[in-house]
Structure 1
Amino acid sequence: MDEFTNNEHILGNRLLNIYQSMTEWIKQKRTQFPLSSHEESRDNLLAYLYVKEMMSHDLIQAIEEEGLSSIYGHESHIISSIELLLRRLQAPAFQDIDIRKITRQQAKQLIAERARTVLGEGRRSRRTRIMVTLDEQLIDEPEVMEQLLLHGMDVARINCAHGSPEIWKKIIEGVRQAEERLQKKQQWEKRCRIYMDLPGPKVRVDSIVSNTYPVKLSVRKDEYGQPIQPVTGFLYLHTPLSFPSEQSDVSFVLEVATNESITMVSGDELVFIDVRGRKRRLKVIDVIAPSCFKVELSNTAYIQKGIWFKHKRFSLLLQSVTPIPMKAIVKKGTRLQIYFDRTHFGAAKMDDAVKLTTTLPKALRNVRVGHRLYFNDGKIFAMIQNVTNKYIEAKVISTGRKNKMIKKGMGINLPDSLMHLTVSSLTDRDLQYIPFICKYADMIGLSFVHTPHDVAKLYRILTEQGAPHLTIIAKIETRAALHNLTRILMEGLTLPSFGVMIARGDLAIEVGFENMSIVQHDILALCQAAHVPVIWATQVLENLAKKGVPARAEISDVSLGQKAQCVMLNKGPYIVEAVKMLANVLEKEESHPQKRAKMIARYMDQQGVFR
Structure 2
Amino acid sequence: MTISDDALPLPSAAEAFEAIPFGEEPLTADVLMQAVLLLRTAVTGDAKRIAAHIGATPDDAAIANLAHYLALRHHDLRPLQRELMWRGLSSLGRLESRVLPTLDAVAATLGAVTGHPSPFPAPDKTAFFAGEARLTAATDAMFGPAPAMRRTRIMVTLPSEAAGDPALVLDLARRGMDIARINCAHDGNIAWRGMATNVRTAATVVGRDIKVLMDIAGPKIRTEAVTAPKKAKLQPGDRLRLVAGGEPRACEAVPFSAAVSLPEMVTRLTPGDRVRYDDGKLEGVVESVADGEAVVRVTTVKAGGTKLRPEKGLNLPDTALGLSPLTAKDEDDLTTVIECADMIGYSFVSRPDDIDLLEAALARHGTRERPLGLVAKIERPEAVTNLPALMARALRARPFAVMIARGDLAAEIGFERLAEMQEELLWLCEAAAVPAIWATQVLEDLVKDGVPSRGEMTDAAMAARAECVMLNKGPAVGTAIELLDHLLGRMDSHAFKKTAQLRALRSW
| TM-score, length basis structure 2 | 0.87
Distance 1:364 1:94 in 2: 61
Matches within 5 A, 1:470-485: 470-485=372-387
Deviations 1:512-541 (A, max 9, x none): 111111100000000100001111101111
The answer to whether the 8 Å contact 1:41/1:529 transfers is yes
Query: Is 1:54–2:75 an aligned residue pair?
Result: yes
Which one-letter code corresponds to 1:487 in the other structure?
A
SS in 2 for 1:95: coil
SS in 1 for 2:404: strand
Runs of 5+ unmatched residues, structure 1: 216-327, 606-611
Q: Which residue does the alignment assign to 1:563? A: 465
Deviations 1:373-408 (A, max 9, x none): 111101122222222233110122233222322222
1:168 to 181, 184, 192: 192
Query: Is 1:130–2:154 an aligned residue pair?
Result: yes
The answer to whether the 8 Å contact 1:363/1:423 transfers is no
Query: Is 1:427–2:445 an aligned residue pair?
Result: no
Q: Which residue does the alignment assign to 1:580? A: 482
Q: CA RMSD in A?
A: 2.6
Distance 1:417 1:346, change over 3 A: closer
Query: Would you tell me which structure has more strand in proportion to its own residues?
Result: 1
SS in 2 for 1:424: coil
The answer to whether the 8 Å contact 1:142/1:178 transfers is yes
Q: How many pairs were matched up?
A: 476
The answer to whether the 8 Å contact 1:155/1:195 transfers is yes
How far off is 1:586 after superposition? 0.8
Query: Would you tell me which structure has more helix in proportion to its own residues?
Result: 2
1:24 to 45, 54, 59: 45
Matches within 5 A, 1:166-565: 166-180=190-204, 183=205, 188-210=206-228, 212-213=229-230, 329-342=233-246, 345=247, 352-419=254-321, 422-467=322-367, 469-565=371-467
Which one-letter code corresponds to 1:197 in the other structure?
D
Deviations 1:46-103 (A, max 9, x none): 1111111024432233222333222221100111001111112227573239x9x983
SS in 1 for 2:98: helix
Distance 1:502 1:351, change over 3 A: same
Deviations 1:567-608 (A, max 9, x none): 100011000000000001011122499x9846x42xx31xxx
How far off is 1:333 after superposition? 2.9
How far off is 1:112 after superposition? 1.0
The answer to whether the 8 Å contact 2:239/2:253 transfers is no
Distance 1:61 1:371, change over 3 A: farther
Compare CA radii of gyration and give the structure with the larger one.
1
Q: Which residue does the alignment assign to 2:7? A: none
How far off is 1:31 after superposition? 4.3
How far off is 1:17 after superposition? 1.2
SS in 2 for 1:549: coil
Higher mean alpha-carbon deviation, 31-40 vs 504-513, is at 31-40
Deviations 1:349-393 (A, max 9, x none): 676421222111223444222222111101122222222233110
Distance 1:125 1:495 in 2: 32
Distance 2:382 2:100 in 1: 28
Q: Which residue does the alignment assign to 2:5? A: none
Distance 2:54 2:319 in 1: 31
How far off is 1:138 after superposition? 2.9
Distance 1:166 1:71, change over 3 A: same
Q: Which residue does the alignment assign to 2:170? A: 146
How far off is 1:29 after superposition? 4.6
How far off is 1:449 after superposition? 0.9
Distance 1:540 1:347, change over 3 A: closer
Distance 2:119 2:350 in 1: 40
Distance 1:64 1:367, change over 3 A: farther
Distance 2:58 2:37 in 1: 28
SS in 2 for 1:75: coil
Runs of 5+ unmatched residues, structure 2: 1-21, 496-500
Higher mean alpha-carbon deviation, 445-454 vs 584-593, is at 584-593
Distance 2:441 2:120 in 1: 45
The answer to whether the 8 Å contact 1:503/1:537 transfers is yes
Which one-letter code corresponds to 1:175 in the other structure?
V
The answer to whether the 8 Å contact 2:97/2:430 transfers is yes
Deviations 1:6-56 (A, max 9, x none): 322111112211212322333445544565686211211111111110244
How far off is 1:146 after superposition? 1.5
The answer to whether the 8 Å contact 2:233/2:307 transfers is yes
